[in-house]
Structure 1
Amino acid sequence: MVSRNELTAATLDTLPITVAVLDDEGEILLTNRSWREFGSGTDDHVGADYIATTATADDEHARRAVTGIEAVLAGDRDSFTMEYPCHSPDQKRWFMMRASPFHEDGDRLVSLVHLDITERKLAEIAAEENARQVREEREALEHVLERVDGLVRNVTDAAVGAETREAIEREVCTCLAETDPYVLAWIGRADVTNQRLSPREWASQGTVPLEDDELIIGTDETHPAVRAFADGEAQVTRDLDAFEEADRWWPTGASEHFQSVAALPLTYGDITYGVLVVFASETDAFDERELLVLESLSETIATAMNALEVRRMLTTETVVSIEVAIEDPSLFVTGLSETLDTAISYRGLTYDADGTPLLFLHADREIDADSVEDTALDGSDVTILSETEDGAVLEVAAEDGLVTALSEHGGVIRELTVTDTVADLSVELPDGRSARSAYDLLEDRYDRVELVSYHETEEPAQTRQDVTSRLESSLTDRQLMAVRKAYYANYFEWPRDVSGEELAESMDISRSTFHQHLRTAQRKLLDEVLE
């Protein structure tokens, strides 16, 4: 029959934990298989002084273990537990040691158990790391939200509170440059005449440099500001050191000041007021979240600029004059000039009874009636209204065209001449927004459009358009048509280039009816002028 001691030893050998039994002097009396296998695999360490061996180790955990076991052996503690690392060269390991006293035949003994807790410890470390990351992310998010809230508030206050566009640009740049990690901000405007994009206002931390060279729209598309203005979308350079064109745009050593760049168009509706360019001292500073904030700010800035422009339009009378050169055979007057082999100039516009636009053009030479009748450009009906000493006045019935399109944008054509396939156009528009919209219309419709000049001038309280509108409102459509036809066809010149009968025929009315319309219109116009 198996003795009690043999049964105990056999049972201990089945346990997956290391176990040793110490006497009251700290000598090892018994170990199990796990203990032996953890060591050399053969030595059971029976008879060894565990306390003395452990005390020789120059280790904080060993000192704690000796102190705790001695307290249990002396009866000062009911038990002792501690966790400690025991790493191997290729593995991280942790154990929990527990010393528990018991008595056998009147002797005080201690069972010493070492339990592998590596999996639990790794899970705890992972949980602590996750908690640390969550805490850091929360703190970072709180910092970002605080920073973003302050930035949005400051920029919005600057944009909304400014009295001029220049003040908006200056205050916005200052707010951005004072917000880490931004170090430089500038707002550029486009000179559409010279196709240049250049900073108008800027602010920076210290001596952060601006661009070294001019930015040319349509050519320098490697620069993020030009791309943003041309494409109407935000552009980001995340790492300046990896940007091949960096040396072209920024002075040598600029990377000491900033590492990333973001450019955003300042757009309201279909109007682009310029571009906002922001520089940061860190790479990848403009992540998705940061870019979303800047896009929102750029919309706020553009909205404020638009509000100022609308307010200025309501409080002041301004006229924008633009001159352009158009080279495209699809332009009606250009096609007509080529077909008739003569220079063509615009004289005026009216509408017939059914609302069809009637254009009056002057040809610089005599025109054969048969050649005009054979002319059918874009479905337009061309007739000779009168012949002059130096050419002929043509009447063109056109459903759609350049003149009517510009009229829909509030434009008044002051000059339109076609010579050698090039149309020179001068048009007045009520404000900058209408001018930009009209110019965009021309660029979309025709192959080659060159802006020759752009002028914005103040008008007196009562503009020419106001007077014209009031005079025209006093006439019926037929009266207005009669007086315009007479004027454009040189009926009031002497000798007359056209008769009343011919003008009446062009309106499909009798001569007496034409003269009645003309006399009534003249009387009303004189009443407006003289009374």
Structure 2
Amino acid sequence: MSRRSELVSAAVETLPITVAVISDEGEILLTNRSWREFGPDDDPDDHVGVDYIAAATTDDDEHARRAVDGLERVIAGERETFAMEYPCHSPQEKRWFLMRANRFTVDGEVRASVIHLDITDRKLAELAAEESAEQLRAERRTLERVLERVDGLVRDVTDAVGAGTRDEIERRVCGHLVDVEPYEFAWIGRVDVTGGRIAPSEWGGRIDATVEDDLLLAPDGSHPAVRALETSEPQIVQGLERTASGGDRDWSTCVGADEAVRSMAALPLIHGEVTHGVVVVFATEPDAFEDREVLVLESLAGTIGTAVNAIETRRMLTSEAVVELEVAIEDPSLIVTTLARELEATVSYRGQTYDGDGTPLLYLYVGRTDGVADAAARVDGVTAVTVLSEREDGTLLELTLTDGLVTRLADHGAVIRRLDTDENVVDLTLEMPNSQSARSAFNLLDDRLNRVELISYQEIERPSRTPRDLAARLESTLTDRQLLALRKAYVSDYFEWPRAVSGEELAESMGITRSTFHQHLRSAQAKLLDELFDGDRVVGRQTE
């Protein structure tokens, strides 16, 4: 054997691919080490002398038939080369190979080289890429389906929230929701605070169904609508199955539906920190509420909550009825409790306002005169303290706050009618525009404070001498500085005689001159009298 032949033989022997050389009759003439090692450990035969074509021929293997046909064409001279990919899986793993056959001659005799290259890594990468591409295509189809479903729904619901009453909003929203496939049934529930229930107020659908009975706001929050209210988050239930008995968890029956629904979504109707109710939507598809669709429905629920809040606010301004909530609070972290405990004195709420930057200012009357300002300055959440007036029996303080419970209550539409405390217990009376706001305010207190006890809850007629519409108009005409000057003067008993505080002291607390303070105060008083007696008579009055 020549040196060249030795080099070729050694190179073929060490190639990391299986190689065999066969004759024109299909007999194996030569194999390399990779070929021999590919077989079972107990059969290291090099297969020299075996009829490769006969061994590979089988009727029930399509890949084998293709390989034999291609190899025979190469040997016959019909083609110079043949290649194909084929699977060769074992019980332990999936494998793929590339077979390639090439024709050549040696001393005039036809030969063919057959190699098998392991392409498993490449094939797995291709399959993963194809799976990712299919996933993207599926997500695109899902997104297109979502857009098709909600096309027009957003506009319709937005139009519905322009209705004049809450009942009309709820009726139109339910109607628009069930006009969109695959939604089949929808209902909206309001919170009954006194009964601790969700009371369905409006419903509708394309299937014959009746709405849920009143749902208890149970601690376990078993119903999705209850959980949505308790968590302020959408609650989605997919893949529902109708139970034979219609048991406690059989949401699919929709309570009396002739056709079982397969999925449901419960979304809270929220504006700010106030929850006005819940909307529940049912569908006959088991996976109707995928993530993108939930985002759209969540946005619609927010729009409905905002519209309901606007209607309730408007009703509050025109109605005499309000909700009065009285609670007793035990929590040493409250500003009023901290002051009462440290000073061993009673503390009463006198009012709240905001400075020009929107910083909350709290007015408290402390039944003590010595050390009051220093004690207040040490309380967490208080950034500045101003003594507005001192009397024999106590001190009127203005506290600048970073934030606080009083501010949070105001966000819920609460008006503080009474807030008194000793060293342990705060007696708080709130006036709320409706039952939803009352429940939301009570939950705020209950979540943030150690112990909150509900003393009373009742709907009352607002005294006719409380002209909320007049107050709203007045505040809209006053500048921030005028309103601040007027409130400071009022809570400081500046209008009493003898005066407990001078105009110069109030001006100093605002960081302005005495003359500027009196200018703001006179302008505010003039606007107050104009609104009270004959606001249309005022023309061209200065606003600063």
TM range (shorter): 0.5 to 0.7
- Cα distance between partner residues in 2 of 1:410 and 1:115: 81
- Cα distance between partner residues in 1 of 2:39 and 2:277: 76
- Of 53, 56, 69 in structure 2, the residue corresponding to residue 54 of structure 1 is 56
- Cα distance between partner residues in 2 of 1:42 and 1:436: 82
Which residue of the partner structure matches residue 119 of structure 2? 117
Contact preservation (8 Å) 1:193, 1:454: no
Shift of 1:440: 8.3
Shift of 1:180: 5.0
Instruction: For 1:320, give the aligned amino acid.
Output: E
- Of 43, 46, 61 in structure 1, the residue corresponding to residue 45 of structure 2 is 43
- Cα distance between partner residues in 2 of 1:59 and 1:28: 21
- Cα distance between partner residues in 1 of 2:112 and 2:39: 20
Once the two structures are superposed, the pairs formed by residues 77-476 of structure 1 within 5 Å of their partners are 77-160=79-162, 162-179=163-180, 182-191=183-192, 196-211=197-212, 213-216=213-216, 222-226=222-226, 228-229=228-229, 231=230, 233-234=232-233, 236=235, 238=237, 247-248=247-248, 253=253, 257-258=260-261, 261-269=264-272, 272-280=275-283, 289-308=292-311, 318-321=318-321, 433=433, 448-453=454-459
Instruction: For 2:81, give the aligned amino acid.
Output: S
Residue 319 of structure 2 aligns to a residue whose secondary structure is strand
Q: Deviations over 1:133-163 (max 9, x none)?
A: 2322233233334434544333223323x34
Contact preservation (8 Å) 2:322, 2:434: no
Q: Deviations over 1:423-442 (max 9, x none)?
A: xx9x9x9xx94898799889
Residue 22 of structure 1 aligns to a residue whose secondary structure is strand
Provide structure 1 residue ranges, at least 5 long, that are not aligned to the other structure: 331-355, 358-376, 381-396, 413-424, 457-462, 470-505, 509-527
Which residue of the partner structure matches residue 12 of structure 2? 12
Shift of 1:319: 3.4
- Equivalent pairs counted in the alignment come to 384
Residue 144 of structure 2 aligns to a residue whose secondary structure is helix
Q: TM-score of the superposition, structure 2-length normalised? A: 0.55
- Cα distance between partner residues in 2 of 1:93 and 1:253: 49
Contact preservation (8 Å) 1:266, 1:298: yes
Pick which of 173-182 and 109-118 moved more.
173-182
Structure with the greater alpha carbon radius of gyration: 1
- Cα distance between partner residues in 2 of 1:171 and 1:9: 85
Q: Deviations over 1:100-145 (max 9, x none)?
A: 1222212222222222222222222222222222322233233334
Shift of 1:288: 5.8
Percent identity, aligned pairs only?
50
Shift of 1:410: 9.7
- Cα distance between partner residues in 1 of 2:200 and 2:86: 64
Residue 301 of structure 2 aligns to a residue whose secondary structure is helix
From the superposition, tell whether residues 165 and 81 of structure 1 become closer, same or farther in structure 2 (CA, over 3 Å): same
Instruction: For 1:100, give the aligned amino acid.
Output: N
Shift of 1:218: 7.5
Contact preservation (8 Å) 2:189, 2:200: yes
- Cα distance between partner residues in 2 of 1:9 and 1:409: 94
Contact preservation (8 Å) 2:186, 2:282: yes
Provide structure 2 residue ranges, at least 5 long, that are not aligned to the other structure: 331-349, 352-364, 369-393, 398-408, 418-428, 447-451, 471-495, 499-533, 535-544
- Of 73, 76, 83 in structure 2, the residue corresponding to residue 74 of structure 1 is 76
Q: TM-score of the superposition, structure 1-length normalised? A: 0.56
- Cα distance between partner residues in 1 of 2:329 and 2:226: 31
Contact preservation (8 Å) 1:193, 1:453: no
Q: CA RMSD in A?
A: 5.4
From the superposition, tell whether residues 205 and 11 of structure 1 become closer, same or farther in structure 2 (CA, over 3 Å): same
Q: Deviations over 1:300-354 (max 9, x none)?
A: 112333455677789xxx5323586969899xxxxxxxxxxxxxxxxxxxxxxxx
Residue 187 of structure 1 aligns to a residue whose secondary structure is strand
